Structure formats: C-alpha cells, structure tokens
C-alpha cells in the first residue's frame, strides 16, 4: 500500500508535519507508481519529483509558500490512498531536517559524478608503518624520535580512527578545488555568529543547518559568546577534503611540516624527539602554534600514545 | 576632476543607489578608501584572479575586468574566458584538526602554523610571500615570513585572489580589490 515517508524513511501517514516558507523538505512516497502526489492547494505549497530510488520510494521536494495548513495527498483518481498535513510557518533553520538536499552516498559510495571524488574509506595507519616511513625519509630521527612523532600523529587522529583516505590531519580543498582527488566527510561543523551562520545555511543549497542544543550535547559541539553551530553535509564544499592514494603520499605534508618545525627550532625539536620527551615536543609544537588546545592535555595524550606504541613494539633500538 | 574626487563622487552615487548594477565599462569602480575598490556583482562569481594589476572575474552577467591601480572598469563583457590562477594554492596547506570548528594554515618550509577562527573557504598565495584567506566571517592576510596575520575585512568571502601587491575577494555582493 502506498504511503508517505520522511527523509529518514519513517512512515508519516496521517501525521502533522511542520515546514517553513521557502524551505524545501524531502518527502517520499512508497509505491507511488500510478498515483498523483501533491498538496491539495498549490498556493500553500509546491511539490516536485526528484525521482525514485531502488526501494520503490519516489522522492519529492516539498516547499511551503505561505503560512497556512494544507493536506498533502497521494491519490488515484478521486480516491486518496494516503495523506499528511503540512503546517507551513515561518522558516526555522535548526535541526538536520533543514538540510533537505542531504542524502546518503550513491550506490558507488560517492556523492557526486566528479571523476576526482574518491569513496570515503577509513584508513587506519599502523604505528609501525608510520615509524618505518619516518625513519626512511628523515635521517636525523632515531627510532625513539620516530615513535614520539608517531604518538603525536596517533593523538591527532584518535589513533587513526578518524583518518580517511590517508589524509593525515584533515587537509582541505578550497571551494572551487575539485580537480584533485578528494572525498567528503559528514557533520563538518563551525562556530559562527547567528547572522553569519544563517547566511551560510541559506546559501548551502540545502546542505547546511543550525545544530539544536540537543545535537550540540550529543556531538560535543561547544559554543559560547552568542555563537551558534552551523553543520554541513556532503556534497557541500565545506565537507570536501583531499584524498591520498597511500600512507606515504598522505604523510608527506605532515612530515614536511615537522621538518620545518625542526628548522625553526634547530637546537630543540629533533633532540627533544630523539630523547623520547613527549612533554617537551608538545611544548615546542605549542610554540609553533601547531595546535590551539591545552598544552598539558596534548602532552598527556602524546605520552599515553607513546607508551602504547612502546608496549606494542617493545624497546626502541635507537 | 582628480581621480580621487571622481572616485568619491562614484562612492556617493553608489551610496544613494545601493542596488546599482555593476559600473559600466570605462567608469571608475566605487572607492571605499584610497586603496580599495568595490564593484557590485550579479549572482555568483565563478572565478576571480589578478594579473598585471588587473582584477578579472566572471559573474552571471559575464566577464569583467577592473584596473586595480586606477579603479577603472575595463571594457570586457561576453563569455567568461579561462582565467589565470587566482594565486597558487600550492605550498599552502589548510587542515581541520580533529574535524573541529577551526582551521590551521601552514606553508611549505615554514615551521609556524597559523590557526584561524572558522573554516577557510578559499585561499590564494603570491609565491608564498602573502596569502589571502576567506572564511565565512572575515578575509585575512597572512605574511608567513613575518609571522603576521591581518584582518582585511569583517565580512566573509568565498573567492579570493592575490597578486601584484593587490588582494581581491568576493563577499557575496561585490568584488573588492585592496592594495596590500
């Protein structure tokens, strides 16, 4: 039996759904073939088909035009098979449903047809591989030094859990930069003034929204000073990051930058790394503005990671 | 009439008619200070570049050029050509640590990082000597070798360019060219 569903696929037959003026929302109809679907008053809302998916759900973009209530029906002739009530009010930009153009990845795992887009895959580097890479390309490092730097990397990427397509440190693409291998990450968030966030969300073509307090708590998104959290979803350019083919390729920029830090602090950085001093290394990286978080926390986390690597690999040979 | 007075007159006219279309070719752009020009755009700006002190950009009305040292809008129009690079992004790395709310800008060979507030939308570098970064809420000029970071605008920009001692950006309503 045909029935209406929301963007998450949950049945909304007979329900009351809230929408905003000029704010499209995604609505689906299961088994819509042969039915006419739309609001019973087109001056209150309009509906355009977005095509069917492989689960027999036809998707529509439903947009409120003025403040009023309207019945949205799926009919065959005069017979109404399913309906829900749309309450059109002032637009709100809070909550993920506002991002009406947000969609799961295509069947091939990508979000666009761009030939340079790569499917987003978790690529968890093994500490031993990172250490081997460092020792093979940076002769000044001892094995202990390489382990300290690997601990820094492991801390930055949550032990590699948040490392995708060998992109160490989440290197970004510029807005128009689509000619390089890239991928999309979900839930990219930013703290903005309300005016700035609204402007970004309105110009995101349905790929952005303002986070509710509940979502902020759930994700640990903190905001103070009157700022709000704007969230963007693929394929928004805000979510576009570079993709690398291998650990060696992805680690190049990261290693080059640490070599530059060593040049900036010639008498301190490499000796500190090679002595196994995670606290000292965290202090130099703080002076190099590498991170903006708390130095004590950073040093503690690096020290823990280093101890974990040492337990895993045994004593360092140099 | 001096160029400065002409520019001031244009600015006053622009203020009186804030929805004015982009200036016609051959007329001065609007000056908001002695070293800054502003040209209203139509719709989205799809490309922006600076070469030989000329700012080139394409909006929904077509191709436009602004002579930065005089503020004169040059006769152009027509289809948008392949524009030169907005300033290379090579040598500049922008990363989002821990997928947090802020980005960090880094430069090849420079041991210092430059944390910024928010996410960079676009960035352009003039041979690594100066880098312009546009975010949702500001436009920044970064001088890597001096370790300095200056705010060029308190409005965001999604297109930026740099070259020949000038920076340019699109703030959603106008292309702004600023002498650095």
State the ipTM, two decimals: 0.82
- pLDDT confidence of residue B5: 44
Residue B28 pLDDT grade (very low, low, confident, very high; cuts 50, 70, 90): low
A-B contacts (CB, under 8 Å) = 106
Mean pLDDT in order along chain A per 10 residues (318 residues) = 90 94 91 94 95 90 95 95 96 87 85 96 94 95 97 88 89 89 96 92 91 94 92 95 95 91 96 98 95 92 97 91
- B52-78 pLDDT, tens digit per residue, is 889 999 988 889 999 998 888 876 667
Tell me if B98 and A156 make a contact (CB, 8 A cut-off): yes
Q: What is the pLDDT of residue B147?
A: 87
Q: How far is A293 from chain B (nearest CA, A)?
A: 10
Segment 215-254 of chain A within 8 Å of chain B by CB: 221, 229-230, 237-238, 241, 253
The closest alpha carbon to A233, from A61, A117, A105, belongs to: A105
Report chain B residues whose CB lies below 8 A from the CB of A221. Answer: 101
Mutating which of A257, A266, A295 best tests the B interface, going by the most B Cβ atoms within 10 A?
A: A257
- Taking the model in full, what pTM does it have? 0.82
Instruction: Report CA-CA distances (Å) from B19 to B25, B30, B156, B174.
Output: 18, 13, 20, 11
CB–CB of A72/A28 below 8 Å? no
* Residue B128: per-residue pLDDT: 85
Tokens, residue B145: 């070798």
Query: Looking at chain B, which residue has its C-alpha nearest residue A264?
Result: B111
Q: Do A170 and B136 touch (CB under 8 A)?
A: no
Is it true that the peptide bond before A57 is cis, omega within 30 degrees of 0? no
pLDDT at B27: 60
Tell me, yes or no, if B43 comes closer than 8 A to chain A by beta carbon: no
How deeply is B71 buried, as exposed, middle or buried, from its count of CB atoms within 10 A (0-12, 13-18, 19+)? buried
Residue B97 is predicted with a pLDDT of 86
The span from the CA of A255 to the CA of A251, in Å, is 6
Average pLDDT over residues B97-121: 91
Residue A1: the pLDDT is 81
B150 pLDDT band, cuts 50/70/90, is very high
């Amino acid at each position: 039996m045909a029935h209406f569903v929301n963007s998450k696929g949950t049945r909304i037959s007979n329900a009351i759904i809230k929408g905003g003026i000029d704010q499209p929302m995604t609505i689906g109809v299961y088994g819509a073939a042969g039915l006419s679907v739309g609001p019973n008053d087109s001056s209150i809302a309009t509906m355009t088909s977005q095509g069917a998916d492989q689960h027999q759900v036809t998707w529509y973009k439903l947009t409120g035009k003025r403040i009023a209530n309207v019945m949205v029906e799926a009919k065959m002739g005069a017979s109404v098979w399913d309906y829900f009530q749309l309450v059109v009010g002032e637009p709100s930009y809070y909550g993920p449903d506002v991002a009406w153009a947000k969609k799961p990845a295509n069947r091939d795992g990508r979000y666009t047809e761009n030939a340079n887009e790569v499917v987003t895959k978790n690529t968890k580097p093994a500490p031993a591989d990172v250490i081997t890479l460092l020792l093979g390309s940076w002769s000044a490092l001892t094995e202990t030094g390489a382990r300290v730097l690997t601990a820094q990397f492991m801390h930055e990427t949550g032990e590699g859990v948040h490392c995708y397509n060998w992109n160490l440190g989440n290197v970004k693409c510029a807005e128009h930069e689509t000619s390089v291998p890239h991928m999309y990450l979900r839930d990219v968030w930013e703290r903005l003034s309300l005016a700035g966030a609204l402007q970004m969300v309105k110009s995101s073509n349905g790929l952005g929204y303002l986070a509710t307090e509940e979502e902020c708590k759930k994700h640990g998104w903190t905001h103070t000073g009157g700022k709000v959290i704007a969230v963007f979803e693929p394929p928004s350019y805000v979510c576009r990051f570079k993709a690398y083919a291998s650990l060696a390729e992805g680690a190049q920029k990261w290693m080059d930058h640490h070599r530059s830090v060593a040049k900036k602090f010639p008498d301190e950085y490499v000796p500190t790394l090679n002595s196994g001093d995670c606290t000292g290394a965290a202090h130099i990286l703080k002076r190099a503005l590498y991170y903006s978080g708390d130095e004590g926390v950073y040093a503690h986390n690096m020290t823990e990671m280093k101890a974990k690597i040492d337990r895993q690999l045994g004593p360092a040979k140099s | 009439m001096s160029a400065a007075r002409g520019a001031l007159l244009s600015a006053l006219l622009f203020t009186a008619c804030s929805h004015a279309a982009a200036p016609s070719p051959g007329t001065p752009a609007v000056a908001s200070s002695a070293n800054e020009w502003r040209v209203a755009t139509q719709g989205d700006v799809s490309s922006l570049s600076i070469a030989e002190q000329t700012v080139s950009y394409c909006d929904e009305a077509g191709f436009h050029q602004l002579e930065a040292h005089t503020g004169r809008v040059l006769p152009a129009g027509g289809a948008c050509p392949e524009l030169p690079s907005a300033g290379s992004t090579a040598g500049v790395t922008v990363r989002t640590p821990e997928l947090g709310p802020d980005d960090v800008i880094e430069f090849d060979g420079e041991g210092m990082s430059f944390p910024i507030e928010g996410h960079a939308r676009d960035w352009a570098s003039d041979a690594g000597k100066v880098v312009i970064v546009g975010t949702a809420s500001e436009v920044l000029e970064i001088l890597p070798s001096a370790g300095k970071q200056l705010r060029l605008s308190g409005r965001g920009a999604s297109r930026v360019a740099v070259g020949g001692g000038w920076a340019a950006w699109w703030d959603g309503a106008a292309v702004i060219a600023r002498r650095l």
